[in-house]
Amino acid sequence: MIRDGWPFFDEREVAHLREPHRFRTVDLSLVSRLLEPYWQWCADRVPASIAPNAITLTGFALVLGVFVATLAGDVTLRAAPSPAVCAAAIASIFAFQTLDAIDGKQARKTGSSSALGNWIDHACDVASVQLAMATTGASIGLGCGPALLFLLGSIIVNNFVTHWETRHTGTLHMGNGTSIYEAQLTMMAVHGLTLAFGPALWSRAIASLVPALVVLPFSDAPLRLWIVVLGVGLIGGVGMVGSVLRVKRATGLGGGRALELAAPAMLCVAGALSLRALDESAWMPVTFSVALLGLRLIAGQILGQLGGGRVRAFDLAVVPLLVSSLALPLVPARVGVALAWANLLLSFVVTVGTYVGATLAIARVLDVPVLTLPPRR
């Protein structure tokens, strides 16, 4: 017989999951304030027979579908998606944003709020941002490589720190730079510009578009790199600093808590070392290995918060990529390529297994269905 919660929760964490569900959010996002009337209008029209989790997963499926279409066009993400895919990307991000905003309202309306809904909501949030950001990277011609790794790695660290803060303070802060709504709006704008002006826009030097900016350092750098650096700095950097400061004020920031932030940083460093040692033909599996393992690390933070478990400073799933990143300069090129693809396969298995397995485990612990409303008791 499989123990309830195994292998994600021990007995104490299972008991914590079964306690009345409580979750506090501080939403300072201007975008959410502007769209709240529209979201409420949509929520009022959702039939009471539809489960909140089905709403969340539908939005995620739309974003996943567009990512798969982008990957089918060019697995390296170097070729810009077709206009149809760009338009679909805008529609899928907006649809996910809407559905993600109304699933909680539907949960309250149907009296079905639970730790399972909390997990699915946040799991789909972090996964959809990674998928949509990869599609956006293709839209501006980043391709799998250092720039896309920097972009996805920054999103990983940002989401990790956000949920790390939630574990230590009990509050999810949004709108101080970390809000998913601002990130979604930025991605939709990027796709819109690609549709309007073509992908060649992102290859132009920023000084050629705005001559007054010629005085800036790196004014001859392509616009795509400015978008990556400024987007990460404005949307992610401010939020991460705010998260660290709030944890420091609430609980202090000793060596132990600071060490908890090492895992995503080590993951990104391992990815960068791997890219440096490999030919461009193997950059794709490395980039997506980092993205998948980042999602695994974030999942650990979310599950720890839900179960009230101790914070683990390291995840053994990252070890193979760390070891191979150090070994790549010492092995023949063909062996390095094989290691890159093996890491991608392993990362996919452990990450998808974590998300699917945790969903089923929480549903088993709470004795509630995943895609339908629980029977009234």
Amino acid residing at 292: L
pLDDT in the model for residue 1: 39
Low-confidence ranges of the chain (pLDDT < 70): 1-4, 21-23, 175-178, 233-236, 238, 253-256, 311, 313, 376-377
pLDDT in the model for residue 31: 86
Catalytic-labelled residue, pool 21, 122, 168, 191: 122
pLDDT in the model for residue 377: 53
Collect all residues with Cβ–Cβ distance below 8 Å to 11 and sequence separation of at least 6.
5
Amino acid residing at 134: A
pLDDT in the model for residue 30: 83
- Catalytic, 168? Answer no
Q: What angle do CA 21, 27, 30 make, to 5 degrees?
A: 155
pLDDT in the model for residue 242: 74
Q: How far is 116 from 110, CA to CA, in rounded Å?
A: 15
**Nearest Cα to 122, choosing from 164, 79, 72?**
164
Contact predicate 221/206, CB 8 Å: yes
- Annotation: CATH topology of 29-366: Four Helix Bundle (Hemerythrin (Met), subunit A) (1.20.120)
Helix (H) or strand (E) holding 147: helix 146-169
In the 8-state DSSP scheme, what is residue 314? -
pLDDT in the model for residue 373: 87
Contact predicate 313/260, CB 8 Å: yes
C-alpha to C-alpha distances, 370 to 8, 51, 112, 121, nearest whole angstrom: 17, 8, 11, 12
Q: What is the residue extent of each domain of the chain? A: 29-366
Query: Global pTM?
Result: 0.92
Read off φ and ψ for residue 27, nearest 5 degrees: -110, 110
To which residue do tokens 């810009």 refer?
80
Q: Which residues pair with 171 in a beta bridge?
A: 24
